[in-house]
Amino acid sequence: MLYYTVLFFVIALVAALFGFTSLAVSAAGIAKILFFIFIVLAIASYLFGVRRPR
C-alpha cells in the first residue's frame, strides 16, 4: 500500500510539473488517503501483534 502512495505522489508531482493541476490535486488526494490507511493498518497490526502471546 505504501508503494501505491508513493506512486500517486509521483504522478501528482509530474502532473503539477506539466500544469495539469486538477489531475495533480486528485492524485495527491488519493496518495493522502492511501497513506492514512497505511498508517492505520500498520498501527493495528503492531497492536495486535504485541497482544498475541508467544
Residue 52 pLDDT > 90: no
Burial group, residue 40, by CB count within 10 angstroms (0-12, 13-18, 19+): exposed
Global pTM reads 0.76
Identify the band that residue 54 occupies on the pLDDT scale cut at 50, 70 and 90: low
**Spatial contact of 15 and 3, defined as CB atoms under 8 Å apart:** no
Count of domains in the chain? 1
Q: Cell 498508517 maps to which residue?
A: 39
Residue 53 pLDDT > 70: no
Alpha helices in the chain (DSSP H): 2-17, 21-51
Q: Which domain holds residue 27?
A: 2-51
What grid cell was written down for 5?
Answer: 502512495
DSSP 45: H
Identify the band that residue 15 occupies on the pLDDT scale cut at 50, 70 and 90: very high
